[in-house]
Amino acid sequence: MPQENRKRGKKHKKSEKQQEETFSSFQEPAPEQNESWIIPAAKPDADLEAPFGYVDADIKAYFRNVDEQLRNWQQDGTSVDQGDEVDPNEERRIFFLAALSEMSGNEKQLATDPDCSVILERMIHSMDDFVRRVFIDSLTGSFNILLKHRFASHVCQTLFTTANATVSRESRGFIATQTNADKGELRTLTRLLLDICEEIRPDLPALIMDSFASHALRAMLLLLAPTIPLCTENSAIMRSKKSSVWKAKQGAMKPLFGIDSDSTAARRAAPQEHLVAARSLVDTLRNQMDANEVRSLAANTVASPTLQIFLEIEAQVGNTIDNDSLLDRVLFGLVSHANKDPDAPLEASDYVVTLFRDTTASHLLEVAMRCCKGTQFDLFWSTYLKGKFSRLSVHPVANFAIARALGMSNSDQLLEALSELQGSWSKMLKDGRIGVLKAAVERSAVSEMALKETIKVKTCKLLYESILTPDRQCAQLFNSPKPWKIRSALSLAYSKPSESTDTHSDASKSEHKRRHGLESNVQGALLLQSMLRLPHPHNALPIESIRSLPIEGLLHLAHNPTSSRVLDVFLEAASVPFPAKRGLVMSFIGHYHMLVDDRIGSRVGDRCWNFADPYLKEKIARSLIPQEQFLTASYYGKFFARNLNLYLLQKRPQEWKDAQARKKTTLSATHSAKIGESKVEEAAAPSNAVDAPITPERKTKRKRTDVEDEISAVFDTALGKKVKKGSAKSISPSTRILDATPNDLDGIMDAIKRAPSTEKSTHGKKQKS
């Protein structure tokens, strides 16, 4: 028997009451009747699998064809070329409108179908504002059932996620109007969300605990409050790793018509009505669940992420200072004690201490610490953190919460923590848990708060005493006379050399591992970046460490995808002195062809080129003239060679210098313009799939701007420049000759004879035209 394809999510188990009803329906046959002892199996509960009925077989077959066509278009990403005078998206629009008309009236059945629910998710990405409102309006009244359904919950989640752009446009006054007034007035999406909140309010605790409804509820809460930190900090709060892998297997899901590219949707401010609705949901949760029930959600893998969002919303609306708030319940009465007497000591709760070491609850504790304000955080610090840093910082789970606490500390608290952690740095480095060390460095580098100079000095001293130990292995690898400096710059970015010599295991590793046997260390590279961002002269040691590396060591750093970020920060950080950056760029001179002959190294080479001034660019370019053939043959180096334009440098050096100066000015102006545009919201009207078609941007070929085509100039002189009319294509010079009259041909030949001769180089040979 073939194995059944696994469906999304988990099946709902029947409750005890339903099982008792099922067993009670079985009746034993009477003894006088000679019936078979075999009892037929009970049919599955249709209310759980298809609460709104099953989809017709013909409709399901039609939507399979729709899914195949949409998948091809979304993976292709280009418009269908049907001529210049025809809309290239017209075929897609007609096809999409036909699918929408077939979907009308069957939305709920399609959403609960195991095959058609994914097709609906694919179609939602291409819906315009009006169609999306119609679709949500058809589902209202049934969201309590849809959110708990195995397949419809994912449809709701995708619907809430894509509705962000529509709400953004409606908040700016752009509302799509309906074309048919006979069906009544269609509510805006802003109003529909308020009605959905009222609909799910009675079942809110059950939705939080439900494995299917929880993730859809998170998407709706983030739609109501899009400015909370969890919207940008933790994207994994929306989907688990297993769900993300399953989603990736479904292919690209993106708009067919480019209708949801609203740049202001991500940073929009929530409407006041939505904030009021979110606050009412928080109050509902407080009223329907007592303190013990709220605390039981902390370690629940399903409910804990949703509770984190509720805490963020409560902090945004300003309710965290109230007694018996959600934050007060999670921290076991800390808020009430801070309101009553903040100076009095608070007895530590065993429940809060347990949150530090729980894998799931520690995330909730980090959010709770971030929601604490003023005296609340000071009381939390003195009760649960003071005197416990050395033990919690080396814990595999609790160290993340300690790093979060250090990021919120003030001057006195940071000094206190550093004193306690003085003997724990070496163990943290040995175990690879340097998040606390990185948080201490980043906090000491903050300039907005009035930090004492002794904090920076003490942080650097403790840091350097922990990492500056001789490393003979690194010294022998790079033949460096300063092994203690190599330790600080290299051993943080790399872990121990790989001991595996198996060819099968090496084949699965990256090119860098196979060459050098070193495994990149992400945490070490991040720590080194934080050290470089320290104010000068506290970052002098990592700067000198990198500068002291030989060219082999620099190429090792530049060719690794993890350690190359250290060089990026070296060139971008404002705290790194300009002479040090210039020295790093100049140290690659003579070896740039080796630097850019790599996927990662070419990106580092581009950063060095963008940093250099025109004089330094000329020096770099002239050093690469002997390596021009090598760069042309390199798969990655040829892209770097395009920026250099070595041919123009050799033939007309002054023109090359002027071009580089203009390019640098243009890039600076473009960067400033982009910053200005990001501050101004784009007031773009919402598009409609029928009335206002939008054509996606086409990729245009890069035009030549350095040397003008002399032959085209000759034809323009003889015939005059031709203006494109409508959507006509540009006419080439050969076409002009074929279409020209005899008189025009005589003029062309005379113009060619009078034109001055020019020389062009083609593969080293001179030709006259």
The lowest-confidence range among 136-150, 401-415, 425-439 is 425-439
Nearest by Cα to 369 from 357, 356, 358? 356
pLDDT value of position 40: 55
**Category of 318 on φ-ψ map: left (φ > 0), alpha (ψ -120 to 50) or beta:** left
**What CATH architecture is 485-499+511-669?**
Alpha Horseshoe (1.25)
The DSSP H or E segment spanning 520 is: strand 518-520
215 — pLDDT class (breaks 50, 70, 90):
very high
Band (pLDDT 50/70/90 cuts) for residue 431 is: confident
The domain spans of the chain are 52-80+87-175+187-273, 317-384, 386-467, 485-499+511-669
pLDDT band at 513 (very low <50, low <70, confident <90, very high): very low
- Alpha-carbon distance of 729 to 738, in angstroms, equals 16
Spatial distance between the Cα atoms of 146 and 77, rounded to a whole number of angstroms = 32
Average pLDDT over residues 371-399: 92
Q: Are 512 and 477 in contact (CB under 8 A)?
A: no
Per the rule left: phi > 0, alpha: psi between -120 and 50, beta: everything else, 458 is alpha
C-alpha of 60 from chain center? 34
Report d(CA 103, CA 109) in Å as an integer: 10
Among 279, 266, 314, 315, smallest CA distance to 167 is for: 266
Residues 6+ apart with CB under 8 A from 705: none
pLDDT on residue 549: 83
Reference 69, options 95, 101, 89, 90; nearest CA is: 95
> In terms of DSSP H, where are the helices of 612-732?
614-623, 628-633, 637-644, 646-651, 653-679, 710-719
Residue 262: name the closest of 178, 190, 130, 163 by CA.
163
Q: Minimal CA–CA distance to 136: which of 159, 166, 157? A: 159
759 pairs with which residues across the strands?
768
* Cα–Cα dist 564/603, whole Å: 9
Of 328, 334, 319, 321, the closest CA to residue 291 belongs to 328
pLDDT at 160 over 80: yes
pLDDT at 685: 37
Segment 96-103 shows an average pLDDT of 89
The whole-number pLDDT of residue 395 equals 92
The whole-number pLDDT of residue 143 equals 93
Count of C-beta atoms within a 10 Å radius of residue 58: 8
> If you average pLDDT over each of 6-10, 189-193, 240-244, 544-548, which comes out highest?
189-193
Residue 367 has pLDDT above 90, yes or no: yes
CA 493 remoteness from chain centre: 24
Asked if pLDDT for residue 503 goes beyond 70, the answer is no
Asked which of 186-200, 413-427, 465-479, 564-578 is least confident by mean pLDDT, the reply is 465-479
Cβ–Cβ under 8 Å, residues 455 and 415: yes
How much is the pLDDT for 10?
58
pLDDT of amino acid 740: 41
Q: Highest mean pLDDT: which of 289-303, 510-524, 671-685, 729-743?
A: 289-303
Q: What is the pLDDT of residue 354?
A: 94
Q: How confident is the model at residue 196 (pLDDT cuts 50, 70, 90)?
A: very high
Lowest-pLDDT range, 340-349, 520-529, 552-561, 673-682? 673-682
Pick from 400, 547, 398, 425: which is nearest to 486 by CA? 547
In Å, what is the CA distance from 636 to each residue of 491, 507, 593, 605, 643? 28, 22, 10, 11, 13
Average pLDDT over residues 741-745: 42
Contact 458, 441 (CB under 8 A): no
275 closest CA partner among 242, 317, 238: 317
**In DSSP terms, which residues pair with 765 in a beta bridge?**
762
For 284-304, what is the mean pLDDT? 93
C-alpha to C-alpha distance for 310 and 220, rounded to whole angstroms: 12
* Alpha-carbon gap, residue 646 to 675, rounded angstroms: 32
Rounded to two decimals, the pTM is 0.71
Q: Give the pLDDT score at 126.
A: 87
Are 624 and 594 in contact by the 8 Å Cβ rule? The answer is no
Question: What residues contact residue 741 under an 8 Å CB cut-off, 6+ apart?
Answer: none
Whether residue 247 has pLDDT greater than 50: yes
The overall longest dimension of the chain from CA atoms, in Å, is 120
Average pLDDT for residues 388-396, to the nearest whole number?
A: 92
What 3 state SS string does 268-322 have? CCCCHHHHHHHHHHHHHHHHHCCHHHHHHCCCCCCCHHHHHHHHHHHHHHCCCCC
With beta carbons less than 8 A apart as the criterion, state whether 597 and 564 touch.
Answer: no
Give the SS3 label for residue 645. coil
First to last CA, the chain: 76
Q: Quick one: pLDDT band at residue 684, thresholds 50, 70, 90?
A: very low
* DSSP-assigned beta bridge partners for residue 768: 759
Lowest mean pLDDT among 109-123, 393-407, 539-553: 539-553
> Which position has the token pair 């009207």?
685
- Which stretch, 221-225, 412-416, 425-429, has highest mean pLDDT? 221-225
Q: Which residue has the higher pLDDT, 144 or 743?
A: 144
What does the block give as tokens for 323?
């007694």
Per-residue confidence (pLDDT) for residue 383, from 0 to 100: 94
pLDDT bracket for residue 258 (50, 70, 90): low
**112 pLDDT above the threshold of 50:** yes
d(Cα 191, Cα 507) in Å, to the nearest integer?
57
- For 466, other C-beta atoms within 10 Å of its C-beta total 19
Yes or no: say if 607 and 570 are a contact pair by the CB < 8 Å rule: no
Question: What pLDDT sits at residue 44?
Answer: 47
- At 219, is the pLDDT very low, low, confident or very high (cuts 50, 70, 90)? very high
Work out the pLDDT band at 435, boundaries 50, 70, 90.
confident
**What's the CA gap between 398 and 414, in Å, rounded?**
18
Mean pLDDT of the chain: 74
Which two three-digit tokens encode residue 185? Answer: 């007035």
- Whether the predicted pLDDT of 47 surpasses 50: yes
Query: In percent, how much of the chain has pLDDT > 90?
Result: 31
Strand partners, 560: none
Give exposure, 173-211, as e/b (b: 16+ Cβ within 10 Å).
Answer: eebbeeeeeeeeebebbbebbbebbeebbebbbebbebe
Question: What residues contact residue 436 under an 8 Å CB cut-off, 6+ apart?
Answer: 393, 399, 402, 403, 406, 421, 428
Q: What is the CA radius of gyration of the chain?
A: 33
Beta bridge partners, 284, equal none
Q: Which residues contact 338 (CB under 8 A, 6 or more apart)?
A: 375, 376, 379
Give yes or no for residue 259 having a pLDDT over 50: yes
What lies within 8 Å, CB to CB, of 260 at 6+ separation is: 125, 162, 165
**647: buried, middle or exposed (CB in 10 Å: 19+, 13-18, 0-12)?**
middle
The span from the CA of 316 to the CA of 281, in Å, is 13
CB 598, CB 560: distance < 8 Å: no
The 3-state DSSP composition of the chain as helix, strand, coil percent (nearest 5) reads: 60, 0, 35
Q: Which single residue is written with the structure tokens 């046997």?
A: 517
Cα angle 456, 458, 463; round to 5: 95
Out of 370-374, 414-418, 429-433, least confident range = 429-433
Kindly state the tokens that stand for 675: 């910053």
Quick one: pLDDT band at residue 641, thresholds 50, 70, 90? confident
167 φ, ψ to 5°?
Answer: -65, -35
Min mean pLDDT across 88-97, 255-264, 436-445, 708-717 is at 708-717
Residue 235 has pLDDT above 70, yes or no: no
Which of 202-206, 284-288, 650-654, 696-700 comes out lowest in average pLDDT?
696-700
Q: Which of 300-309, 524-533, 635-644, 743-752 has the lowest mean pLDDT?
A: 743-752
